[in-house]
Amino acid sequence: MSDVKKVVLAYSGGLDTSVIVRWLQETYQCEVVTFTADIGQGEEVEPARAKAQAMGVKEIYIEDLREEFVRDFVYPMFRANTVYEGEYLLGTSIARPLIAKRLIEIANETGADAISHGATGKGNDQVRFELGGYALKPGVKVIAPWREWDLNSREKLMAYCEEHNIPVDFAKNKKKSPYSMDANLLHISYEGGQLEDPWVEAEEEMWRWSVSPEAAPNEATYITLTYAKGDIVAIDGNAMSPATVLEYLNKVAGANGIGRLDLVENRYVGMKSRGCYETPGGTVMLRAHRAIESITLDRESAHLKDSLMPKYAELVYNGYWWSPERLALQKLIDATQDDVNGEVRLKLYKGNVIVAGRRSDSDSLFDASIATFEDDAGAYDQKDAEGFIKLNALRLRIAAKNGRKMS
């Protein structure tokens, strides 16, 4: 007899998690609570209710978390200008701590003693879900079916569905994408299929959110983003909520061929993985945020942020969103954003995000009277540079006098 009486499952309503519902019921003889999150994946989530009900699930949670996702996870991450391994904007990674948080909250609400997910034993998501779960509820039991069962192929999963009368919308003759995909408001990812050969170019038909740069309009699109404390609060003068901002940027950037990425990344579990990503709105957000910081942040604050960013990105990628070190870094990052206010004007053109202007009426540190190439009326004494240079060269001159080799 299993000691698990009730388990909360992160449930999409798709093939894998539908099989997991029945497998949990039979293997653990337990009650299953399903949790389906709408984080902007672009698919109707309500049908998951009928599927769960058909398998005898009595407690069903379906929640619209789009605003919370962008406000409390995407926006804080972009305040840090976060990029993993120089390219990846962490679209999948940043969604997992929110799902883990709700899994634990629902477990507490329903009296469940376990949580479950459909992540495989080869990927990063198992780590992200479970690290989040343990951080928020140390004693929770985690059930990861892909690490326990032998249903290791689509054919075996389909056979299990047929044998157990599981209602899934996967007819054998129905066309299915050859790729493993994950989507939310920040991005859509593609893995598997022909992408497993890193030499093979991704087919044009694969992309869903963006046109190719070649097919993008021949005229540029201009947009103006308004920032308050490092977050976008309006576009072209129209106030928008965080989720609405990202939805709008995805559309306008995707229409201009922006946001495609083909990447071989290093997974936390040790293997290299090739994936393709579409992050139209996020690509715009990163460029624009750096632009507004360029005139509002002090040099050393900006450089400190840049030095810490790779560590912050690694923590998000590896699943340590709820760790004390990420929380500490976030406090430092957020403290730098108090003066990151103003506007950035962007030119979107055939896959490019071009900064056309930036201004901050209240917080700009750019002083034209000092930076000018014209007569600065004594605002800057160029003679001061001589002593500055000599002092900074002192250690180099001493080393050279002592015969140290410099090449």
What residues act catalytically? 16, 96, 125, 180
Residue 387 burial class via C-beta count within 10 angstroms: exposed 0-12, middle 13-18, buried 19 and up: exposed
List b or e across 47-82, with b for residues whose CB sees 16 or more CB atoms inside 10 angstroms: ebbebbeebebebbbbeebbebbbeebbbbbbbbbb
Phi (first) and psi of residue 235, to 5 degrees: -130, 125
Task: Round to whole Å and give the CA distance between 46 and 65.
Answer: 14
Task: Round to whole Å and give the CA distance between 126 and 106.
Answer: 19
Task: Round to whole Å and give the CA distance between 18 and 91.
Answer: 24
Task: Round to whole Å and give the CA distance between 170 and 237.
Answer: 45
Task: Round to whole Å and give the CA distance between 228 and 233.
Answer: 6
Sheet holding 221-228, edge to edge: 238-239, 231-235, 221-228, 342-349, 352-359
Q: Locate 237 and state its tokens.
A: 């003068």
